[in-house]
Structure 1
Amino acid sequence: MKNPPSDSPVHRRYAPTALMFGNLVTGCSVLAPAGMLVELSSDLGVTVRAAGLLITFGAVVLCIGSPLMAWLTSRIERRSLLTATLAVLALANAASALAPDYTTLLIIRLIMLGVGALYTPQAAGTAALIVSPERRGGTIAYVFLGWSLAAAVGLPLITILTSRYGWRTAYGGIGVIGAFSFLLLAWRLPAGLIGARVDLKTWTDVGRNRAIIVLLLITTLQMSGQFVVFTFMGPLLVKLTHAGPDAVGLVFAIYGICGFIGVAIASRIVDSWGAYKTSVLFTVLVLTGITGWALSAGVYPLMACSVAIWGLGFAATNSMQQVRLVVAAPALASASVSLNTSVLYVGQAIGSAIGGLLYSRDLLYGSGYAAMAFVALALMTVISTRGFGRAKG
C-alpha cells in the first residue's frame, strides 16, 4: 500500500465523509427497485416477481463483478477509480429514468452495477489507507454509514417519490445525488492512494485462509436471510396489513433510521469491544427483529416494531464483517473485502430468489420463517469464530 505523497489534514479529515456519501449513492442504486416494485410492475406491464428480478439479477452481476473488478483495477489510483465509478452510477441512474421498457431498464441496471460493484470494497480499502491502524475499525464502519443512509433516507424517499411522481423521478433524483457525490469525492479524497496489488497469488492466499472463508460464509447467511423478506417488504406489507404507500414508506424509514443508529453505535464501540462481540450483538438484533416479523405477520404496528429491532443490526453486521476481514489478514484486505461484497450480493440473490418464489406462490407468512432459519445459522457461525483475531476482537 502507498499513501499519497502530499495531502492536507483537511483532506484526510473529510475524506471518509466523501467515501461515505459514495456508499449512499451505491446503496440507493442497488436498493432502489425495492421501493418501487408495485409501480414498476404496473407501468412496465410485468409481474411483481419479475420486477423483483431487477434485484436478483443485479445481485448476480454484483457478486461476480466485485472480485473481478478488484483484480482488474488494483493498480489504478484510488481517487481516479472511485470518482469514475460514481460518474457511471450517476449517468446510469439518469438513463434509467428514461428507459422505455423493462428490458432496457434491466440492461442499464446490469451495466451500472457491473461497474458499481467495485465501489464499496474499494472505499473500505481506501479508508484503511488514510487513517492510523488504531482508527481503522471505526473509520470503515463510518464509511459504511452511507448504506445505512441509503436505507434510512434514500429508500423511504424513493418509495414516497415513486408513489406520488413515478419511478422515473426517483431514478432521476438518484442521478442528481450521484453527481454531487462525484464532485465531493473528487474534491476531498487525497490523490496518489494505491492499494495492495491483487493477483492470482492473492486469491490463492485468501482461499487458504480459514478465517476469511468462515467470515464470508457468515455474510452470505446474513444477507440471504434478510433479503428473503427485504426485497418484497413493500408488497408483503400491502398484502398482509393492507398498508398504503405512506405506511410502507414509514416502515422503510424506520428500518433505515434504526440501521443508521445501529452502525453509528457499532462504529463507536468496535474499537473498545472488539469486532467479535460487536458482531454477535448486532446479529442477535437482526435475528430478534426477523423473528418478531415472522410471529407478528399481519399486525402492522408489531411488524413495524420488529423492523426497528432488525434495522439496528442490518448495516452494523456487515460493517463488522468488513472490519473482521481487515483485521484477520490486513495484507489481503483488498481481495477479502471485495469478496465480502461479492458474497453479500450472492446472499441478496439467494434471498430475493427464495422470497420471490414464496411470494409468487402466496406463501406470505413463510418468508419470515425462512429468513429466521438463515439468520439463526449465521449467528451460530458467528459464535463459532470467537477465537479469530483475538488481538483485535
Structure 2
Amino acid sequence: MESARAGRFTPTALMLGNLVTGCSVLAPAGMLPELSTGLGISIHAAGLLITFGAITLCIGSPLTAWLTSRIERRTLLTTTLAVLALGNIASAFAPDYTSLLVIRLMMLAVGALYTPQAAGTAALIVPVARRGSAIAYIFLGWSLAAAVGLPLITFIASRYGWRAAYGGIGVLGGISFLLLLLRLPAGLKGTPVDLKTWSAVGRNGTILLLLAITMLQMSGQFVVFTFMGPLLKKLTDAGPDAIGMVFGIYGVCGFLGVVIATRIVDTWGPYRTSLLFTCLLLAGITGWAVGAGSLGLMAVAVAIWGLGFASTNSMQQVRLVAAAPRLASATVALNTSVLYIGQAVGSAIGGLLFARELLHPLGFVAVGFVVLALILVVLTRPRPAAAAA
C-alpha cells in the first residue's frame, strides 16, 4: 500500500507547500503601501491584486481538479510548486502593475491546484483514523504563511522593497519543490473527477451548506484582512513594525488554533470543533469592529480572530471529507474554490469601503458575514445517528 511507503516527513513536506501557496496568495496584503508607492498606483488598485487573484483561484481550483485528476500526485504537486516558485521570481522583476497582475494571474491559475490536491494526497498516505488530524496538519502551512510569512513580507518590503519580498517567496518555493520531490511517494493517484462527480456534489444538500459556510467565513475575514495594514495605519497611525507585529499575532494565533483543532478534532468531532472556532472567529472580528481606533484593542481582537481563521477552514475540509468520502477530491477542490470566492467578494467589498473612507463600517460588514456563517454551522449540526461526522 502506498501509504506504507510515505515517510514521517511527507505530511510536513505537503504542509510546507501550503506555506508557499499561502505566501503567494497573501503576499500583496503584507506590502500594499510599498506596491502602491513603487508602482505608482492607489492602495485600492494594489488590493485588486488579491481580488483578481482570488477570482482566478476560485475558477481554477475545480477546473484544474477535473483536468488533472488522473495525473500522478507527485508529478502534479511538484510541478505546481515549481510554477509558484518561478512566478514569484518573475514578479520580482515585473516592470509595471499590468505585468505584475498578468504574472500573478498566470501563476495562481496553476497554483489553484496545490491546496485541494495536497489535502486529497494527505488522505491517501495516512490511515483513516488519522485522516482528520492529517488534513488539519496540512493546513498549518496557511497558518504559517500568516504567522511567519506575512510579518516577514512586511518587514522585507518596508526595508528592501516589494521586489525583494517576492524574490524571497520564490526561493522558498524552490526549497519546498525539492523537499516534496524527495519525500512524496511516486504512483499516488486519487479517484478521477468526472461530470457524474460534480452532479453528485450538486445533489448533496449538506455539502452545499458546508461550501456556503466557507464562502461566508472567508468573505467576512477578507473585508478586513486585505486592507489590515492600511487600516491600522489610518485608524491608529501604526508604523510598519507595529503592523508587522499585528500580522504576526494573527498568524501565531492562527497556528495555535490549528494545532488545537488538530489535537481535539478526532475526539470532539468536526462539527463541535468547527462550532468552537467559528465562535472565536466571530468574537475576534466583532472585537476589531468595536475596538477600531485603539491599537491595543485591535491587536487583542486579531489574536482571538487568529485562533479561528485557519482552523475553521481546516475543519471545513474535514467535514466535507467525512460527509462524502468518495466525493472528497471534488468537494475539497470546490471548498478551496469557494474559499477564494470569499476572498474575492470580501476584498472587493473591503476595497470599495476603504476607497470611500468608510473605515469603521467596514468592520461591521465583516461581522455580518461571519454571523451568517455561524447560523449555517448550527444548521449543519449532525443528527444523533450521525453525530460522529
Aligned partner (choices 365, 370, 374) of residue 365 of structure 2: 370
Distance in 1 between residues matched to 2:53 and 2:223, nearest whole Å = 15
Residue 88 (structure 2) pairs with residue 93 (structure 1): yes
Q: Is the Cα contact below 8 Å between 1:196 and 1:334 reproduced in 2?
A: yes
Give the match for residue 320 of structure 1.
315
Give the match for residue 45 of structure 1.
40
Residue identity opposite 1:151 in structure 2: A
Distance in 2 between residues matched to 1:56 and 1:313, nearest whole Å = 22
In the TM superposition, residue 390 of structure 1 has moved relative to its aligned partner by: 2.3
1:13 is paired with a residue whose SS is coil
Give the match for residue 290 of structure 1.
285
Give the match for residue 255 of structure 1.
250
Residue 8 (structure 2) pairs with residue 13 (structure 1): yes
Q: Is the Cα contact below 8 Å between 1:12 and 1:130 reproduced in 2?
A: no
Residue identity opposite 2:381 in structure 1: R
Q: Is the Cα contact below 8 Å between 1:224 and 1:349 reproduced in 2?
A: yes
Query: Structure 1 length normalisation: TM-score?
Result: 0.98
Q: Is the Cα contact below 8 Å between 2:4 and 2:125 reproduced in 1?
A: no
Residue 368 (structure 2) pairs with residue 356 (structure 1): no
In the TM superposition, residue 14 of structure 1 has moved relative to its aligned partner by: 1.3
Distance in 1 between residues matched to 2:292 and 2:124, nearest whole Å = 45
In the TM superposition, residue 183 of structure 1 has moved relative to its aligned partner by: 0.3
Q: Is the Cα contact below 8 Å between 1:229 and 1:368 reproduced in 2?
A: yes
Residue 273 (structure 2) pairs with residue 278 (structure 1): yes
Runs of 4+ in 1 over 4 A off after TM superposition: none
Give the match for residue 104 of structure 2.
109
Residue identity opposite 2:287 in structure 1: G
Residue identity opposite 1:164 in structure 2: R
1:38 is paired with a residue whose SS is helix
Residue identity opposite 2:370 in structure 1: V
Distance in 1 between residues matched to 2:8 and 2:174, nearest whole Å = 22
Aligned partner (choices 373, 379, 392) of residue 388 of structure 2: 392
Query: Structure 2 length normalisation: TM-score?
Result: 0.99
Give the match for residue 33 of structure 1.
28
Gaps spanning 5+ residues in structure 2: where?
Answer: none
Give the match for residue 165 of structure 1.
160
Give the match for residue 326 of structure 2.
331
Pairs aligned (count): 388
Q: Is the Cα contact below 8 Å between 2:58 and 2:338 reproduced in 1?
A: yes
Give the match for residue 124 of structure 2.
129
In the TM superposition, residue 308 of structure 1 has moved relative to its aligned partner by: 0.2
Distance in 1 between residues matched to 2:96 and 2:340, nearest whole Å = 25
Give the match for residue 80 of structure 1.
75
1:7-62 Cα offsets, whole Å, 9 max, x none, are 63xx3311100000000000000000000101101110111000000000000000
Give the match for residue 56 of structure 1.
51
Residue identity opposite 2:165 in structure 1: A
Residue identity opposite 2:386 in structure 1: R
In the TM superposition, residue 323 of structure 1 has moved relative to its aligned partner by: 0.1
Distance in 2 between residues matched to 1:215 and 1:50, nearest whole Å = 32
Aligned partner (choices 184, 194, 219) of residue 189 of structure 1: 184
In the TM superposition, residue 391 of structure 1 has moved relative to its aligned partner by: 4.8
1:196 is paired with a residue whose SS is coil
Residue identity opposite 2:284 in structure 1: G
In the TM superposition, residue 392 of structure 1 has moved relative to its aligned partner by: 3.0
Residue 342 (structure 2) pairs with residue 347 (structure 1): yes
Residue identity opposite 1:16 in structure 2: P
Distance in 1 between residues matched to 2:127 and 2:4, nearest whole Å = 15
Residue 211 (structure 2) pairs with residue 216 (structure 1): yes
Q: Is the Cα contact below 8 Å between 2:73 and 2:121 reproduced in 1?
A: yes
Residue identity opposite 1:390 in structure 2: A
Distance in 1 between residues matched to 2:230 and 2:67, nearest whole Å = 39
2:310 is paired with a residue whose SS is helix
Give the match for residue 69 of structure 1.
64
Q: 1:278 to 1:7 in 2, by over 3 A?
A: closer
- Over the matched positions of the two proteins, sequence identity in percent amounts to 73
Residue identity opposite 1:392 in structure 2: A
Aligned partner (choices 17, 20, 26) of residue 22 of structure 1: 17
Give the match for residue 264 of structure 1.
259
Distance in 1 between residues matched to 2:7 and 2:204, nearest whole Å = 32
Q: Is the Cα contact below 8 Å between 1:67 and 1:335 reproduced in 2?
A: yes
Give the match for residue 303 of structure 1.
298
Residue 198 (structure 2) pairs with residue 207 (structure 1): no
Give the match for residue 142 of structure 1.
137
Gaps spanning 5+ residues in structure 1: where?
Answer: none
CA RMSD of aligned residues (A): 1.0
1:118-144 Cα offsets, whole Å, 9 max, x none, are 100000000000011110000000000
2:7 is paired with a residue whose SS is helix
1:12 is paired with a residue whose SS is coil
